[in-house]
Structure 1
Amino acid sequence: MKVSYECGPCYLRQAREALDLATDDENLKMEIMEEIFQYLSNRFKGGINSNKTGSIMHQMIKEKTGCKDPYYKEKIEGNKLALKYLPDVKEILKDDNSLENHVKIAIIGNILDFGAFTLDDDIESVIKSSLNKDLAVKDIEEFENSLKTNDKVLYLVDNTGEIVFDKLLLEKIKEYDLDITIAVKSEPILNDACMSEALDAGLDEFGEIVEIGCGTVGYVDSEISDEFREIFNNHKFIISKGMGNYEGLTEIDLSKKDIYFLLCAKCNTISRDIGVNLHDMLLFKK
């Protein structure tokens, strides 16, 4: 997906957050922010790739601070908090064990920012209220048909914390007797799930976990490894979680893919691109 004017301040917000997590050196933060302004002033214009631009910016921060994983603590806490609430979510699903509710739970995981919650927050009420909300785009019948007619699926995960809720959908997918391959980032970027976080969350219970060969914001086709490209090409049926993967995958030809996007439209640029309202929950086939 291409940038909109609103991506500019979003890059700067992300840069400030990453810098604050990566270093306490105020002089270094000023120096790096100056370089980010210079980088964006040279690169930021209509038609550029949103994910690649953000990936380069975050790589600058990691290299110049020497902190390879600014979100390390946030990722651990995100998984820990989500795992704490997993039994409660399973209880909620006992009342309605439908495929649609499992899809909603996976999308609710995409809505919840586990790094921003504490043990005192009423996450259960957020989950219940979201389950009562209709999917704005609901290609559930097509989705179930794909589960029934394919023998394997590639599942592209998004953030830590969120991946714990993905487990419930993965468990439901297993009922359709599919082989599941779960794709994670090879290097830390933001709070995206890498191999260690996926293993900590127990995703290996449901399928083979593979790395995409890079640590980019979302999916950037030019950066994935040859090994992952072969895996991607060998899967017709793909499930993509989150906005970053949507932004990257819509840059490539998907005409031969049976691909579904599960996400919450959390920014105006994404909601306009898809044609939905801000904060809508979506399951749609591209």
Structure 2
Amino acid sequence: MKSLVDCIHCYLKQAVSCMEMIKVPDEKKIEVLYNLIDFIKTLKPSASPAYNSSLVLLKTYEFINNPDPYYEAKKSSNKLALELYPRVKEKVETADDPLYEALKVSVAGNVIDLGIQRDFDIDKELDHAFNFGFWIDDYPLLKEKIEKAKDVVIVGDNAGEIVFDKILVEILNGMGKNVYYIIKSGPILNDATKEDAEEVFMNKIANVVESGAALLGVPKDFVSKQVKNLIYTADVIISKGQANFETVDDFEDVQANVFYLLKIKCEYLAKKLMFKQGSLVLINGERLKERKRNIF
């Protein structure tokens, strides 16, 4: 997915959020932002928003001399989610269709996005997911594909959110599925890394695979050969969150097996794709391709 004009101010908002995390003084913030404006001029509009955002964030880390400003926030998100985990898991396991409820829980966790929004109400988001479900809902097709699948790949997103993904993985394990869970190879924003996976014990229930890059999403030209192979050969790929939404679509040949699971947070993207902003979406990759063809 190519970057849009409206992405530019989001790059700067993410940089501000990053600096707020470690309480950078205002004078330094202004200096960094002025330098970032010059840096943003060098970015390619043809690149995905996720890739350009990654470059801006990594440049911000250089300017503030901190390789992981979200470290403590990720710890807090994991702790909060682990406290909620037993109650949420019980609700999922006692539901009429545990797989469907696990998907709702997984997407509810997508609210833990500290890039733009630094506060969130996970209890409220869970209640909304359980009660209202998906605005676009390709669950019948996903369930059919999962039932026939041997291998399921989940392209993970944030710390904290990874705890709610555990519930989905456990349901898939109970269905006899071999689950691969993709994380980042290094810190970027509040995305889950190996340390987060081990902290919440995701590595005990899934094959945890590092993406090969410390970049948002899974940009095809930068991830490892192993990750490319997993995406190209898996029976089902569940892509979590917007950055993955913006990069997994580059794997064009496998979109029939891809299901995007996210909350629509970007106003401009919502307008372009005719999504309802704030809605929870579970959409198959082929259906998304058709939607894009009809709009762009």
Fold shared, TM-score > 0.5 on shorter chain: yes
| Cα distance in 2 for residues equivalent to 1:133 and 1:25 | 42
Would the alpha carbon gap of residues 173 and 134 (structure 1) be closer, same or farther in structure 2, given more than 3 Å must change? same
Is contact 1:23-1:65 (8 Å) kept? no
Does the C-alpha gap of structure 1 residues 255 and 273 become closer, same or farther in structure 2, counting only changes over 3 Å?
farther
* Superposed displacement of residue 97, structure 1: 4.4
Q: 1:29 to 1:89 in 2, by over 3 A?
A: same
1:108-187 equivalences in 2 (<5 Å): 108-113=108-113, 116-117=119-120, 123-187=122-186
- The letter of the residue matching 1:157 is G
Corresponding residue for 1:24?
Answer: 24
Name structure 2 gaps, 5 residues minimum.
286-296
Residue 104 of structure 1 is matched in structure 2 by 104
Q: State the Cα deviation string for residues 77-125 of structure 1 (Å, max 9, x = none).
A: 00000111112212433552412211111111112458625xxx6x545
Counterpart position of 1:84: 83
| Structure 1: unaligned runs, 5 residues or longer | none
In structure 2, do the counterparts of structure 1 residues 57 and 228 end up closer, same or farther at CA, with 3 Å as the change threshold?
Answer: same
Kindly tell me: are residues 218 and 91 of structure 1, through their superposed partners in 2, closer, same or farther at Cα, counting changes over 3 Å? same
The 5 Å alignment of 1:268-283 reads 268-283=267-282
Letter in 2 for 1:283: L
1:2-41 to 2 correspondence within 5 Å?
Answer: 2-22=2-22, 24=24, 26-41=26-41
CA contact (8 A) 2:21 2:70 kept: yes
Give the 3 Å change call, closer, same or farther, for CA 66–92 of structure 1 in structure 2: same
1-10 or 11-20, which moves further after superposition? 1-10
TM-score, scaled to structure 1? 0.90
Match of 2:289 in 1: none
SS where residue 253 of structure 2 aligns? Answer: coil
Q: How far is the alpha carbon of 1:189 from its aligned partner?
A: 0.4
- Kept in 2, the 8 Å contact 1:181–1:210? The answer is yes
> What secondary structure is seen at the aligned counterpart in 2 of 1:142?
helix
Contact 1:218 1:247 in 2 (8 A): yes
Aligned to 1:230: 229
Deviation at 1:4, TM superposition (A): 2.3
Single out whichever of 26-35 and 208-217 deviates more from structure 2. Answer: 26-35
**Match for residue 69 of structure 2?**
70
The 10-residue stretch of structure 1 (80-89 or 4-13) with the greater mean CA deviation from structure 2: 4-13
**Which deviations, in whole Å up to 9, do the C-alpha atoms of 1:209-228 show, x marking residues without a partner?**
11011111222111112333
Q: Structure 1 44/226 Cα, relative in aligned 2: closer, same or farther at 3 Å?
A: closer
Change over 3 Å in CA distance of 1:246–1:273 after alignment to 2 = farther
Deviation of 1:200 after TM superposition, in Å, equals: 0.8
Please tell me the residue identity of whatever aligns with 2:188: I
Are the structure 2 counterparts of residues 229 and 32 from structure 1 closer, same or farther at C-alpha, using a change threshold of 3 Å? same
Percent identity reads 26
In the TM superposition, what is the alpha-carbon distance from 1:26 to its structure 2 partner?
4.8
**Which range moves more in the overlay, 85-94 or 96-105?**
85-94
Q: TM-score, normalization: structure 2?
A: 0.87
8 Å contact kept, 1:236–1:257: no
Report how far residue 257 of structure 1 moved.
5.1
Cα RMSD over matched residues? 2.2
| Count of residue pairs the alignment pairs up | 281
Supply the distance in 2 between the matched residues of 1:138 and 1:107 (Cα, whole angstroms). 12
In structure 2, the partner of 1:61 is 60
Find the aligned partners of 1:280 and 1:269 in 2 and give their Cα distance: 14
SS at match of 2:167: helix
Preserved CA contact (<8 Å) 1:135 1:281: yes
Residue 261 of structure 2: SS of its match in structure 1?
strand
CA contact 1:107–1:262 (8 Å) conserved in 2: yes
**1:40 shift after superposition:** 1.8
Provide the C-alpha distance between the structure 1 equivalents of 2:52 and 2:5, rounded to a whole number of angstroms: 13
Whole-Å Cα distance in 1 between the matches of residues 57 and 113 of structure 2? 20
